Amino acid sequence: MEDRLKILAQWLQKATTDDFYYDASRDGRLESAIAESQVETCNKIGGYIEEILAMDSEQIDNELK
């Protein structure tokens, strides 16, 4: 399970606007802002998952309190 979460974290951190079907030549400013926001969100979630996976048991226990 941990390896699967590592893969997910890596995928999320590699997300680009292309993953959200953003076409710079066709879409406007709003679409661009939405696609960038989606990428930023994916990158942050991927980072959070990596941080959690790097925690030891004591850190996890402290976070759950």
Q: What 3-state DSSP class applies to 55?
A: coil
In the prediction, which pLDDT does 56 show?
Answer: 94
The number of beta carbons lying within 10 Å of the beta carbon of residue 43 is 15
The pTM score is 0.79
In the prediction, which pLDDT does 43 show?
Answer: 96
In the prediction, which pLDDT does 17 show?
Answer: 86
- Please give the chain's pLDDT, 65 residues, in tens: 889 999 999 999 999 988 887 777 787 888 888 989 999 999 999 999 999 999 999 999 999 98
